[in-house]
């Protein structure tokens, strides 16, 4: 490939990453300010009409969302994929005659691997798993923010509320796959390069969900997710960690101090993520019987099976994904 063509392709990839950074860090506040500020201009009617629509559309994130096949297939997502690059690995067939609960690990700082693989078609999810409909679920609060919510829903994101999850898994059409970042914000606080630590020991709600609907549990691990940024980790007895914990408790996310490379130099500080390979591996399903009112013993049993399956998935694929053989998964 000519140097000029290669440079152009790389520029497109960087632009795609900058778009993702803006979506993750800036669009939330910008969209809120836009709707609010227009109220004090001659264009106030646009805000009023949108807010009226927002009230009528308020419950959509809990009713399967409003995905757009067109947006999920945007070329910009392929450029985002190629920047790292990001890859989706299928280990076994997942028949579309049943529903699934995907537990995705780790969260990382911006969960770019999970988003790229399950909220876009850049890595070919629909081709690799024909008949499945992946729904990544996120904080309910994010899906209440004007404009931002519509962008998220267009990629297939739905609320992580119980109402939303029950709605998706109760659809008459089989092949529903809800993707849950089980470790959540707590896990993002340990997203250090080379560290493979997941928050799972006491996270059992997703197992109870699978039992209520008879949905198969599927462990998913994304290698490289923690390597794209550098992170400042605070001691658990520090005031900084206490602030993170309080914000996480009340807002659902933990503010982190992180950094990457600059736009023009890999040796300078910036917010551009490091271009390291990210590989998401979808494991074998664990068949789960339906139990409308699962007991604690049932939940503990399948939770233990899930943890063992996740550890096995990690061990089987770690070396092919550049992780040393001496490294093991830590579950907290």
Say if strands 216-223 and 278-282 run parallel, antiparallel, or are unpaired: antiparallel
The pair of structure tokens assigned to 156 is 């297939």
Bridge partners (DSSP) listed for residue 261:
269, 272
Could you tell me where the beta strands, DSSP code E, fall in 158-231? 158-159, 176-181, 197-198, 216-223, 230-231
**Number of residues written out for the chain:** 332
pTM of the model: 0.92
Give the pLDDT band (50/70/90) at residue 246.
confident
pLDDT of residue 3: 59
pLDDT, one tens digit per residue, over 135-185 is 999 999 899 999 999 999 999 999 999 999 999 999 999 999 999 999 988
Calculate the CA 1 to chain-centre distance: 34
Partners of residue 235 on adjacent β-strands: none
CA dihedral 169, 171, 173, 177 (to 10 degrees): -20
Within 10 angstroms of residue 173's Cβ, the number of other Cβ atoms is: 9
Give yes or no for a cis peptide into 106 (omega within 30° of 0). yes
In DSSP notation, 267-279 reads TSEESBPP---EE
Quick: pLDDT tens for 195-237: 899 999 999 999 999 999 999 999 999 999 999 999 888 888 8
Query: What's the maximum distance between 2 C-alpha atoms anywhere in the chain?
Result: 64
Minimum mean pLDDT range among 66-70, 93-97, 245-249, 314-318: 245-249
**Strand 216-223 vs strand 197-198: parallel, antiparallel, or unpaired?**
unpaired
List, as one string, the DSSP characters of 203-219: --HHHHHHHHHTPEEEE
Percent of the chain beyond pLDDT 70?
98
- Sign of the C-alpha dihedral, residues 181, 185, 186, 191? positive
pLDDT at 127 over 80: yes
pLDDT tens string 229-244: 998 888 888 888 888 8
Cα–Cα dist 227/195, whole Å: 8
**What distance in Å separates the CA atoms of residue 315 and residue 312, rounded to the nearest whole number?**
5
What is the structure's pLDDT at 1? 56
């Amino acid at each position: 490939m000519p140097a000029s063509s290669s440079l152009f392709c790389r520029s497109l990839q960087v632009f795609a990453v900058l778009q993702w950074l803006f979506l993750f860090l800036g669009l939330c506040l910008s969209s809120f300010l836009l709707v609010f500020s227009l109220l004090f201009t001659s264009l106030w009617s646009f805000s009023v009409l949108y807010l009226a629509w927002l009230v009528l559309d308020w419950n959509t994130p809990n009713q399967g969302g409003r995905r757009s096949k067109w947006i999920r297939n945007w070329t910009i997502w392929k450029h985002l994929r190629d920047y790292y690059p990001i890859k989706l690995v299928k280990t076994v067939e997942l028949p579309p005659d049943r529903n699934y609960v995907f537990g995705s690990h780790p969260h990382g700082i911006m969960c770019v691997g999970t988003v790229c693989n399950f909220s876009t078609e850049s890595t070919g999810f629909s081709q690799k798993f024909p008949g499945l409909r992946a729904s990544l679920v996120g904080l309910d609060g994010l899906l209440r923010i004007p404009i931002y919510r519509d962008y998220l829903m267009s990629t297939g994101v739905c609320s992580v509320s119980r109402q939303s999850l029950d709605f998706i898994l109760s659809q008459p059409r089989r092949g529903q796959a809800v993707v849950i970042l089980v470790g959540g914000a707590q896990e993002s606080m340990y997203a250090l390069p080379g560290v493979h630590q997941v928050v799972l020991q006491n996270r059992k709600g997703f197992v109870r969900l699978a039992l209520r609907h008879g949905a198969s549990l599927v462990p998913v691990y994304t290698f490289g997710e923690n390597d794209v940024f550098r992170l400042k980790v605070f001691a658990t007895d520090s005031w900084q960690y206490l602030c993170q914990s309080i914000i996480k408790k009340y807002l659902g996310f933990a503010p982190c101090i992180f950094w990457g490379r600059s736009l023009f130099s890999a040796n300078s500080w910036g917010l551009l993520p490091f271009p390291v390979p990210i590989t998401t591996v979808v494991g074998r399903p664990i068949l789960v019987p339906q139990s409308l009112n699962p007991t604690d013993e049932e939940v503990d049993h399948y939770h233990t099976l899930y943890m063992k399956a996740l550890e096995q998935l990690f061990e089987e694929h770690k070396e092919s994904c550049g992780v040393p053989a001496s490294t093991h998964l830590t579950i907290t």
